[in-house]
A and B are shown apart, each in its own frame.
Chain A
Amino acid sequence: MPDSQTEVHNLKHHFADLDQQKATSTFGMWLFLVTEIMFFGGMFAAYLIYRLSYYNAWVAGSQTMEIQLGAINTAVLICSSLTMVMAVHSAKLGNRKLTAICLILTLVLGFAFLGVKAVEYHGHWVHHEVPGPNFHFEHEGNYDPRQVSIFFSLYFAMTGMHAFHMIIGAGLLTWLLIANARGRFSPEYNSPVEMVGLYWHFVDLIWIYLFPLLYLISHHHNG
Chain B
Amino acid sequence: METASHTVESKTNYLNADYGIKSWLLTTDHKRIALLYLISITSFFFVGSFFAMLIRLELLTPAGDLVLSDTYNKLFTMHGIVMIFLFLIPSIPAVLGNFLVPMMVGAKDLAFPRLNLASWYIFITGAAFILYAILTGGVDTGWTFYTPFSTTFSNTNVVTAALGVFITGFSSIFTGLNIIVTVHRMRAPGLTWRRLPLFIWANYAASVIMVLGTPVLAITLVLVALERVFHIGIFDARLGGDPLLFQHLFWFYSHPAVYIMILPGMGVISEVIACFSRKRVFGYDFIAMSSIAIAVLGFLVWAHHMFVAGISTYAALIFSMLSFFVAIPSAVKVFNWTATLYKGSITFETPMLYTFAFIGLFTIGGLTGVFLASVGLDLHVTDTYFVVAHFHYVMVGGMVTAFMGGLHFWWPKITGKMYPEAFAKLSAVLVFVGFNLTFFPQFLLGYMGMPRRYHAYPPEFQVLNVLSTAGASILAVGFLMPMVYFMWSLQYGKDAGPNPYRAAGLEWMTSSPPPTFNFDETPVVTWEAYNYDEIDAPNKGVEIAG
Residues of A within 8 A of B (CB): 12-14, 16, 20, 23-25, 27-28, 31-32, 34-36, 38-43, 45-46, 49-50, 53-54, 131-133, 144, 146-147, 149-150, 153-154, 156-157, 161
Contact = CB atoms under 8 A, between A and B. Distances in A.
B212 A34 contact: yes
A23 B212 contact: no
B233 A153 contact: yes
Nearest to B244: A49
B185 A27 contact: yes
B177 A38 contact: no
Majority DSSP secondary structure for residues of A touching B: helix
Given A24-B181, A131-B232, A153-B232, A39 B216 contact: yes
B216 A150 contact: no
A150 B214 contact: no
11 contacts: A13-B109, A25-B112, A27-B184, A28-B112, A34-B212, A39-B218, A42-B223, A46-B223, A150-B232, A154-B234, A157-B232
Given A14-B107, A32-B177, A149-B233, A46 B245 contact: yes
Given A42-B223, A50-B242, 11 more contacts: A14-B108, A28-B181, A35-B212, A39-B216, A42-B249, A46-B234, A131-B232, A133-B231, A150-B232, A153-B226, A157-B222
A38 to B, nearest CB: 4
B257 to A, nearest CB: 14
A35 B217 CA distance: 11
Given A13-B108, A14-B113, A49-B245, A42 B232 contact: no
Given A131-B232, A132-B231, A147 B215 contact: no
Given A38-B215, A45-B249, A157-B226, A144 B112 contact: no
A157 B223 contact: yes
Interface in B215-242: 215-216, 218-220, 222-223, 226-227, 230-234, 239-242
A69 to B, nearest CB: 23
Nearest to A41: B216
Interface of B: 107-109, 111-113, 115, 173, 177-178, 180-181, 184-186, 211-216, 218-220, 222-223, 226-227, 230-234, 239-242, 245, 248-249, 252, 517, 522
Contacts of A25: 112
Given A13-B108, A14-B113, A35-B214, A153 B234 contact: yes
B185 A24 contact: yes
A34 B148 CA distance: 30
Given A14-B517, A24-B185, A24-B186, A38 B213 contact: yes
A150 B240 CA distance: 7
Nearest to B235: A46
B231 A28 contact: no
A24 B177 contact: no
A146 B181 contact: no
A132 B240 CA distance: 13
Contact of A131 (B115, B216, B230): B230
Contacts of B248: 45
Given A14-B109, A146-B239, A42 B220 contact: yes
Nearest to B223: A157
Q: Which 4 interchain pairs have the tightest Cβ spacing?
A: A146-B240, A39-B215, A42-B219, A14-B108
A34 B517 CA distance: 30
Contacts of A12: 113
Contacts of B185: 20, 23-24, 27
A38 B233 contact: no
A68 to B, nearest CB: 27
Given A13-B517, A24-B181, A150-B240, A43 B219 contact: yes
Contact of B239 (A31, A41, A50, A149): A149
A146 B240 CA distance: 5
Contacts of B232: 131-132, 149-150, 153, 156-157
A38 B181 contact: no
Given A28-B181, A35-B211, A35-B214, A149 B240 contact: yes
Given A35-B214, A36-B215, A27 B181 contact: yes
A206 to B, nearest CB: 13
B17 to A, nearest CB: 13
A42 B215 contact: yes
A146 B245 contact: no
B234 A31 contact: no
Contacts of B173: 35
Contacts of A54: 240
Contact of A31 (B186, B211, B223, B241): B211
Contacts of A31: 177, 180-181, 211
